[in-house]
Amino acid sequence: MRPWMIASTFLLASSFSLTAHADKAGFQQHYQAYQQALQAKDKSKALSELELAYQQAKDVYPADGEDFANLTVSLANHRLNFSKQPPSHIHPLYLQALASYEKLYGANDARLIEALLGAAKTASSDRDKLGFVNRSMEITSATNNPLLLAEVQLEAFEIVSITPLYKPKHLKWLDEAYAYLSSSANQDQALKLRATFLLGNAHIRDRNLDKSTALFNDVVAQTKGLNYSHPYALASHARLVSIYERKGESAAATEHCVAIGAMQPWNDNQDPMPLYRLEPKYPENEARAGKNGYAVLHFTINESGAVQNIKVVETGGSASFGEAATAALAKWRYAPKFVDGKATTANSKVRLDFQLQRRR
């Protein structure tokens, strides 16, 4: 779900009505403060005020009513997105709201979808996650609402794709969502951007670098006109650095290194940040001899984020560890250091350790 508002297509927690019982000053005060914090995008205050409003609401709304269920989902969403509570502690809130919705509307109403997806995200069992996701997909498919279906497909894919139960058939959800959101019928550009980014990641997983490259470049193009740096754009630039280096296209990687360094909210005096690291090859002679070792290297990061002037200042075990480390480090890429908003060179150092895994 979108972090700062519950999607309007769900018609749930962000839109519940205040009843006559809501005249109680405590609830109103904290709920209004919560809404103000939302507008100001103050995550910490929004969560704390919603927690207080929720406690007050126990004396305002019937425990099994729609208003309290909606508030419960809002609290669960905020805890999930903005607190450090483990998902298993948040899961009961979604189940509580889900039980209320089922009692009010039955088992197949679209108003259950948000609670089902929240329960899927916070369930401890992967099979439970898949069960909640499949149920939300079944309900959504029956709504004949293509925008709602696309949004739920994105949510469902993200949940299932990080479990061992993920199968190629689940990629179909993402493909279908992307197809609709890329069509002229869709007016939600934020969802289109999200679908493009997720599909780019999915093709990295499938090792289809050409498709990933095209999709991540599309993310960059979609965000180019914004007056701020979108997180998807930042992540896409970083992935493109890695992809282009793996494809041996260093000039293209350089373009994205520089773009990352210039992005906001990175400050005007941003230190260099690693974007692509190649693991060094273990020296064959040392591997055969069972030797471990390390190498400490000093180097320069230039204005394009490339590594130069590598010097081995210390090795342990064998000089060949320094040679292997140097060969790998030469292919690393960084977002360059910026001073007063301009890219500049920077000195850095790294220690690379070489450890043989012991066979059990």
pLDDT (0 to 100) of residue 16: 46
Q: Show Cβ contacts of residue 354 under 8 Å, excluding neighbours closer than 6 positions.
A: 280, 282, 283, 286, 292, 293, 294, 295, 317, 321, 324
Measure CA 167 to chain center. Answer: 20
pLDDT (0 to 100) of residue 268: 59
> Rounded to an integer, what distance in angstroms lies between the CA atom of residue 119 and that of residue 135?
11
> Rounded to an integer, what distance in angstroms lies between the CA atom of residue 214 and that of residue 273?
24
> Rounded to an integer, what distance in angstroms lies between the CA atom of residue 288 and that of residue 296?
23
Question: What are the sequence ranges of the domains in the chain?
Answer: 1-143, 274-354
Q: Which CATH architecture has domain 1-143?
A: Alpha Horseshoe (1.25)
> Rounded to an integer, what distance in angstroms lies between the CA atom of residue 133 and that of residue 317?
52
Burial of residue 220, with CB atoms counted within 10 A of its CB: 0-12 exposed, 13-18 middle, 19 or more buried: middle
pLDDT (0 to 100) of residue 267: 52
Q: What is the pLDDT along the chain (360 residues), one digit of tens a residue?
A: 443 233 333 333 444 444 444 457 788 899 899 999 989 988 899 999 999 999 998 888 889 999 999 999 999 999 998 888 999 999 999 999 999 999 999 999 999 999 999 999 999 999 999 999 999 999 999 999 999 999 999 999 999 998 999 998 899 999 999 999 999 999 999 999 999 999 999 998 878 899 999 999 999 999 988 777 788 888 899 899 889 988 889 889 888 888 877 775 445 566 777 778 888 999 999 999 999 999 999 999 988 888 999 999 999 999 999 999 999 999 898 878 878 777 789 999 999 999 887 654
Token duo for residue 167: 């199968």
Pairing of strands 293-301, 346-354: antiparallel
Helices (H), 223-339: 231-246, 250-261, 284-289, 319-329
pLDDT (0 to 100) of residue 5: 34
215 and 196 in contact (C-beta within 8 Å)? Answer: yes
The pTM (predicted TM-score) of the whole model is 0.75
> Rounded to an integer, what distance in angstroms lies between the CA atom of residue 311 and that of residue 317?
17
126: helix, strand or coil = helix
306: helix, strand or coil = strand
Token duo for residue 222: 């979609």
**CATH assignment of 274-354, among 3.50.30.10, 3.40.50.2300, 3.40.50.720, 3.30.1150.10:** 3.30.1150.10
N-terminal to C-terminal alpha carbon distance within the chain: 45
Phi-psi region of 144 (alpha: psi -120 to 50; beta: other; left: phi over 0): left
Half-sphere exposure of 96 (CA within 13 A, CB side): 18
Torsion, Cα 187 192 194 199, to 10 degrees, reads 160
CB neighbours (10 Å) of residue 280?
20
131: helix, strand or coil = helix
Q: Which of 335, 197, 215, 211 is nearest to 276 (CA)?
A: 335
Q: Show Cβ contacts of residue 92 under 8 Å, excluding neighbours closer than 6 positions.
A: none
